Amino acid sequence: MKLQLALVAGLFFLLTADPSLAAKPQVSISTNRSFISFVGRTANVILIVRMEVHEGNRRLKVSCDGIDGGVFVSTSRDFSQGKGQAKIYDIGFLLTPATYRCEAVLSRKAEEDGKTKEFTSFVEVIVH
């Protein structure tokens, strides 16, 4: 009986720990964590945004906000009736030396009630 219980418990933890079985995030943002600008000028920061393609998607907004004195930059892409979407977007910004919080926000119209939901992901980027 103890052996069976141990096997069931082990199988439970194995299945719940498998990342392929976990729910996928609707939007994610990633990049290298650190960039170098030449002689205090700007650095070309490339962000990779992945999103789940869905007919309810209406807008993808990507922004970087300087935490310690940097600039604020943003861009967005609208999807008409969920059309014209890609799974991956490469987005570049010229950023001055600072630490940035870069964020991707995906707005989606819910099928059930028609309300807009937002899915958010962020990454910290350092420009030297």
Residue 51 confidence (pLDDT) above 60: yes
Indicate the pTM of the whole model: 0.77
Q: Does residue 9 fall inside a structural domain?
A: no
Domain containing 82 equals 23-127
pLDDT at 87 over 60: yes
Contact 89, 77 (CB under 8 A): yes
Tally of domains in the chain: 1
pLDDT tens readout for residues 17-48: 444 445 678 999 999 777 888 766 889 999 99
In a domain, 90, yes or no: yes
Residue 7 located in a structural domain? no
Distance CA 127, CA 99 (A): 6
